[in-house]
Amino acid sequence: MDFKRWVLAVLVFCCHLLSGAHSSVSHLSGGISKVRGVNLGGWLVVEGWIKPSLFDGIPNGDMLDGTQVQFKSVSLQKYISAENGGGGNVSVDRDVASSWETFKLWRVTETEFQFRCIGGQFLTPNGGDSISATAASPSVTETFTIDRNPDRVHIKLLNGNYLQATSDNLLSADYVGQPGWDNDAATFEMIIVENNLHGDYQLANGYGPEKAKEVLMRHRSSFITIEDFSFLSRHGINTVRIPVGWWIAQDPNPPAPFVGGSLEALDNAFSWAQVNNLRCIIDLHAAPGSQNGMEHSASRDGSADWPSSPKYISQSLDVIDFLSSRYADHPALLGIELLNEPSAPGVPLDVLVSYYMKGYQIVRSYSSTAYVILCQRIGNADPMELYQAKIGASNIVLDLHYYNLFDSFFDNMSVEANIQYVFKNRETQLQALNSLNGILIYIGEWVNEWNATNGSQTDYVNFGRAQLDVYDTASFGWTYWTLKNARMHWDFEWNIRNGYLQIGNASNLSFPWCNLI
């Protein structure tokens, strides 16, 4: 270790020792001083990057819902294009592919698909032989069969005719017979542009109902167990934040393609928590229609339709009512998070505030003490926007997610700079928010990972210790993302067992001189 890193390590260690020396803490209504918790991510809401093997058995697994594809005619060497991104004609006349030439797959079976344009419309046969991008929603008519060999495809209508690129650069549906795989007018090269959505929708719709039920039943019964709760209790953790999907309220028979069984697992989690003296935060991680377009919100194709649909918002409130009524009197319940990571500007502030106010009242109708947790919008949004909204009168918590990732600002930031950022920026914000009355502050997600290259174990230990020292000052506490993960540094258990995270005593005060590091 060079001298600069040695000095940094000593200063961080001193901060850790001094902060741990203070033991005077106000207690939360759940009987704990502050939340020191772990997220059970990837368990009841699927995220493929957390456990990629869940998707290994899906036929045509690179063609899941939301996969973005482009099609290039092998005869014309031109791309299929939805003019203006949808709403009108479809041509085969573009030399270079961009957004108009990109389609999102809606998977019907492993070989049958619907094609959604960038503007939201679907490819559909017209009354004659032409294809347009004018269907507002898909049905049997908008369903096409794809034959692959392996990167070349034939696209067939249900009537048996194939799509072809005509000599006048149109896409028609009048190729009869079996096309070949060479320079045939009905043969297209399929380019997979993006295949990064691997959530509950992709898994369930990819496998189909029976196989998906088998896969998820095995996953839910083995990924998190009572032994994990015991491990957490032994290592200084007092709370678990449990992400759930909106379909849990309709368990055991949720609407297709979702699979039942998550409610039984959540019941088990509450029982295991009670046995191990842990508390539970239920987090509505996936709302109907998706609040951010990401896989962890169970978006079908990357769209975020939750804020624009009164039906979806009302359905979400019904889920909060269901969860509140079921768990309000359970001794392990600490709080209910009304919505995880609504996006900004996709979710307008007034829509979110209205939802949070109604959700608060629902929780209060069942419990006067359960904490109601409001997640800050992700993206370009100021936490103060929710302070000023006056959501409710008591036990309100604001959830901030702190990652030195997901932003070009952190690209190639050094080890020292990452640690300085935690002390100078994160702690400054926490001090300002903690000083305000009414709402408690909660770091609902953070991780001992960064974009720094060539970090040693000592570097990771120092980065983790810096985060623990600072996040311990949050008035409500923190929860690590996640308990288990295929990526080592995201895996709380791996960090603990291998000495990369050292929990120790809680830090309850911040020290301004640490900001000078």
* DSSP bridge partners of 125: 131
pLDDT of amino acid 2: 56
CA distance 353 to 397: 14
Q: Which residues contact 487 (CB under 8 A, 6 or more apart)?
A: 49, 449
User: Which residue in this structure is represented by tokens 């311990």?
Assistant: 472
CA distance 395 to 281: 13
Q: Which residues contact 300 (CB under 8 A, 6 or more apart)?
A: 65, 66, 106, 201, 205, 290
User: Which residue in this structure is represented by tokens 């699979």?
Assistant: 259
At 217, is the secondary structure helix, strand, or coil? Answer: helix
Instruction: Say how many C-beta atoms besides its own lie within 10 A of residue 413's C-beta.
Output: 17
CA distance 264 to 248: 9
3-state class percentages of the chain: helix first, strand second, coil last, to nearest 5: 35, 25, 45
Which of 229, 223, 330, 327 shows the shortest CA–CA distance to 275?
Answer: 229
**What's the pTM value of the predicted model, to 2 decimals?**
0.91
Are 447 and 7 contacting, i.e. CB atoms less than 8 angstroms apart? no
CA distance 224 to 237: 15
Integer Rg of the chain from CA: 25
Continuous H helices in 377-449: 384-387, 415-421, 427-434
Task: Tell me the HSE value of 259 on the side-chain side, using a 13 A CA sphere.
Answer: 27
Show the tokens assigned to 156: 């067939």
CA distance 195 to 295: 11
pLDDT by residue, tens only, the chain of 517 residues: 554 454 444 444 444 443 433 333 357 877 788 999 999 999 999 999 999 999 999 999 999 999 999 999 999 999 999 999 999 999 999 999 999 999 999 999 999 999 999 999 999 998 768 999 999 999 999 999 999 998 899 999 988 999 999 999 999 999 989 999 988 999 999 999 999 999 999 999 999 999 999 999 999 999 999 999 999 999 999 999 999 999 999 999 999 999 999 999 999 999 999 999 999 999 999 999 999 999 999 999 999 999 999 999 999 999 999 999 999 999 999 999 999 999 999 999 999 999 999 999 999 999 999 999 999 999 988 888 998 888 998 999 999 999 988 877 777 888 888 888 899 998 999 999 988 878 999 999 999 999 887 789 999 999 999 999 999 999 999 999 999 999 999 999 999 999 999 887 533 323 222 333 3
Are 275 and 330 contacting, i.e. CB atoms less than 8 angstroms apart? no
Show the tokens assigned to 363: 């929780």
Instruction: Say how many C-beta atoms besides its own lie within 10 A of residue 88's C-beta.
Output: 15
